Structure 1
Amino acid sequence: MDAYKATLEYLYARLPMFTKVGASAYKTDLHNTVSLLELLNNPQHTFKTIHVAGTNGKGSCSHMLAAIFQQAGYKTGLYTSPHLLDFRERIRINGQVVSEDFVISFTDQMRPHIETIQPSFFELTVAMAFRYFQQEAVDIAIIETGLGGRLDSTNVITPELSLITNISYDHKNILGDTLPQIAGEKAGIIKAGVPVVISETQSETQDVFINTAAALQAPIHFADQEWMADGSNITQTHLELTLLNTRQQQMQHIRLDLNGQYQEKNVMGVLSSVKILQQKGWHITAEHITTALAHVKKLTGLRGRWDIIQQHPLTVMDVGHNEAGIREVMEQLHHVNYQQLHIVVGFVKDKEVEKVLPLFPTTAHYYFCKAQIPRAMDEVALAEMATASGLQGRPYASVQAAFQAAKQHAQPDDMILICGSFFIVAEVM
């Protein structure tokens, strides 16, 4: 076995990983992260950052911001999670993943401390990212929270700006079971005097953000109050948007290579953020923005957001996995022409599957499956719940078996959608 594989096996075996085991891997304080970073002389204070939280859209927004800074000529770090194919996707500079050698050497250096501090997988990964960004002397790093905000391991930075995308139900067992409670956790990334952009005004949560920002004297901006969508057009490859800046009465035409309709709200958050960053002295032109947004995937390597992998039958992967995310994916189906819809779907156990299943169309053929992780929901149990919601289909023991069956049954004019969790999409890829 090569050294990189051996290192990953050590990390996966040694450290509790939320994506695999769930809530038991989530730490309710920042103690371990702080200890790890102190051993490294606090690399997180040596470069500028932008902090991004939210229930849905934080990954897309992080990649859009990274693309814009890259296009503007800045050496740009990007930290996101989870990964789809290779662990190294979590840590990138200018779209390039961290080297295998760095992952190996960093893990070797930290091994004695891993034994004493006993961090989670995510805690160690955050420390690894910050150390790498310091070593490579990035100009700025876009940092996506893992889960929540207030107690997230990434919440040890003082960013140039905080961006919070949207708030919906996810990880209730950890973040709380009301939207204001969840918003309170996400609002934990707001820092004293640091501007914060909220992508979406939501009546249940806006006071939480307004009050938190006021207490910290952080200037607050609601992006959807600064921008108004004045028409959109979805093509196979792009989302074309015309946005009106309500303050300056300026029109902005955006051609985004992430063509989910749901990206409209994300783009508003990104544009409001960039406006503030320009005022802070970052040299970003209108041309940098439009060019970057048209080439986000190429610049940053983003995958899995309404990701078209084949034309006949039209085959699309989307990592939407909670109630709000699935709702957006189902809305997007209205923009597509197909004869018959085939859906390959699986979930993890801690999602509220009974809330999500009624959002799916009863006219589709279903291929219920289970990702190869302990947290995955049993495919037979899922099929039974789906039948109770009026969805017709069969269970398959693996994602690959389900995908193969969908491909066999689909005609050239049909559509195959793969969704439900990051892990289902990852195994198809």
Structure 2
Amino acid sequence: MTYNEAIEYLYSRLPIFQNQGARAYKPGLHTTYQFCERLGNPQQKFRSIHVAGTNGKGSTSHMLASVLQKAGYRTGLYTSPHLKSFTERIRIDGTPVDEDYIVQFVTDHQEFIETVKPSFFEVTVVMAFDYFAQIEVDVAVIEVGMGGRLDSTNVIRPEVSVITNISYDHMQYLGNTLPEIAREKAGIIKPAVPVVISEWQDSAVAGVFMEVADQQFAPITFASDQLYVQDWTFIDGKLVVQVTDKQTNQLLYNDLAMDLSGTYQLKNIKGVLATLTVLQQKGFSLSEEAIRAGLSNTATITGLKGRWQKLSDSPLILCDTAHNAAGISSVLEQLASLPARSRRFVLGFVSDKDVSSVLKLFPQHAFYYFCAPSNMRALEASKLLAMAQGIGLEGKAYQDVNTALDEAVNEADPDDIIYVGGSTFVVADLNQL
């Protein structure tokens, strides 16, 4: 079996959420535990950090992994979905998993997979745990796929649990209110394991986290209650912040630079720094030098793509994987702050999102180039165009994101801004990424 054959087997034989949505959703931990037991419970053989949340969990995971790596720890990182290659999901010290390992894993466990019929996600999670155990990582950062309580990653007992924020996404699986969604995310809180909540959002959501933490005797920290971003600016393309202790008003970090420069990282950075403090308290050696180096070079160190990523200077082309109302609102706010002669949007979505609500966030005075991601859940570009026209957004439909972007570039002046997004899978389709 070759690598391409192994990947084709996983995609063709297993239910995969990114293509099939609800038909591939398999909540519950029984199969994951069963698979892990077959492998000698690899998830118990390394220290870990568990990261959940509606938005920001990917950025947070990569920032934490980058700092740990710069501090000298052999660091595993599991994230999903991937943008270009399946191997992006499983990394050690920024290097994607070896293709030969994937072939061997699929070959060794093909009969078990055929018998038990796990989901694509369940297989990739257990594959990551087995790889991290075999390579003997010092610590692994594990990003939740969706929700938390019933997510396949929730078989670990981490050093610290992190929940970035709660907003509306995947409501058909997680609940229709923020407290309901919060309760699913709070499912990663383990007995006596510290939990960091990046943002205090409202008393109802916070109340859920405090209730679950109390039940589990888990120390809870709301990072936004402890840390305050006093000031921020952009220097040489990096987001530079001043972070103070909210209780003492003491400056903790002066000119802390982040190469993940979307302003929504102003929320994530508080959770990251609070988590690093918990890790220090648990014996991790994390110097300020390692923290600064890790945060200023996260994308380079970990290979992260698609977070407020610049593809071109003239015209300025930016892409971002924000794909729900809360995430896209933050992106649009930052876009609006940038000077431009005109703004052009290359947009595509998957069909099981609340696209109508998201479209209403976009400005009327702009040029639109609608497309569809190469994904079985894709919303057809012609249908997206019709929905957009119904709320006063004008544009044209194109067969794919690269054709749409080429047209946007052809029609743009050097001082225009072009934004590409709407769906993670649209960004993944970009040739320039």
What TM-score comes out, normalization by structure 1 length?
A: 0.98
1:16-415 matches, within 5 Å, as 16-203=15-202, 204-235=204-235, 237-251=237-251, 252-253=253-254, 254-415=256-417
Q: Residue 334 of structure 1: CA displacement?
A: 2.6
Secondary structure of the corresponding residue to residue 315 of structure 1: strand
Over the residues paired in the alignment, what is the CA RMSD in angstroms?
A: 1.0
Q: Residue 15 of structure 1: CA displacement?
A: 0.6
Equivalent position of 2:424 in the other structure: 422
Provide, for residues 328-360 of structure 1, a one-character-per-residue CA deviation record: whole Å limited to 9, x for no partner: 110111331211111100111111111111111
Q: Residue 234 of structure 1: CA displacement?
A: 2.8
One-letter amino acid of the structure 1 residue matched with residue 10 of structure 2: L
Residues 419 and 201 of structure 1: is their aligned pair in 2 closer, same or farther, counting only changes over 3 Å? same
One-letter amino acid of the structure 1 residue matched with residue 245 of structure 2: N
Secondary structure of the corresponding residue to residue 360 of structure 2: helix
Q: Which moved more, 1:225-234 or 1:66-75?
A: 225-234
Equivalent-residue separation in structure 1 for 2:30 and 2:145 (angstroms) = 16
Q: Residue 389 of structure 1: CA displacement?
A: 1.8
Contact 1:304 1:317 in 2 (8 A): yes
Provide, for residues 247-285 of structure 1, a one-character-per-residue CA deviation record: whole Å limited to 9, x for no partner: 353311211001101001100000000011101110001
Contact 1:235 1:259 in 2 (8 A): no
Contact 1:18 1:26 in 2 (8 A): yes
Unaligned segments of structure 1, at least 5 residues:
none
Provide, for residues 52-97 of structure 1, a one-character-per-residue CA deviation record: whole Å limited to 9, x for no partner: 0000000000000000100000000000000000000000000000
Equivalent-residue separation in structure 1 for 2:288 and 2:373 (angstroms) = 42
Secondary structure of the corresponding residue to residue 205 of structure 1: helix
Equivalent-residue separation in structure 1 for 2:247 and 2:99 (angstroms) = 47
Superposed structure 1 runs of 4+ greater than 2 Å apart:
247-250
Q: Residue 376 of structure 1: CA displacement?
A: 0.6
Q: Residue 28 of structure 1: CA displacement?
A: 2.1
Equivalent-residue separation in structure 1 for 2:237 and 2:309 (angstroms) = 9
Secondary structure of the corresponding residue to residue 242 of structure 1: strand
Equivalent-residue separation in structure 1 for 2:230 and 2:247 (angstroms) = 15
Equivalent-residue separation in structure 2 for 1:120 and 1:219 (angstroms) = 33
Q: Which moved more, 1:194-203 or 1:407-416?
A: 407-416
Q: Residue 235 of structure 1: CA displacement?
A: 4.5
Equivalent-residue separation in structure 1 for 2:5 and 2:293 (angstroms) = 40
One-letter amino acid of the structure 1 residue matched with residue 247 of structure 2: R
Q: Residue 110 of structure 1: CA displacement?
A: 0.9
Contact 1:347 1:376 in 2 (8 A): yes
Contact 1:320 1:419 in 2 (8 A): yes
Q: Residue 202 of structure 1: CA displacement?
A: 1.2
Equivalent-residue separation in structure 2 for 1:98 and 1:335 (angstroms) = 39
Q: Residue 364 of structure 1: CA displacement?
A: 1.2
Q: Residue 6 of structure 1: CA displacement?
A: 1.0
Equivalent-residue separation in structure 1 for 2:185 and 2:58 (angstroms) = 15
Contact 1:234 1:261 in 2 (8 A): no
One-letter amino acid of the structure 2 residue matched with residue 71 of structure 1: K
Secondary structure of the corresponding residue to residue 359 of structure 1: coil
One-letter amino acid of the structure 2 residue matched with residue 90 of structure 1: R
Percent of aligned positions that are identical: 50
Equivalent-residue separation in structure 1 for 2:423 and 2:213 (angstroms) = 33
What TM-score comes out, normalization by structure 2 length?
A: 0.97
The number of residue pairs the alignment matches comes to: 428
Contact 1:304 1:425 in 2 (8 A): yes
Residues 411 and 346 of structure 1: is their aligned pair in 2 closer, same or farther, counting only changes over 3 Å? same
Q: Residue 408 of structure 1: CA displacement?
A: 1.1
Contact 1:234 1:335 in 2 (8 A): no
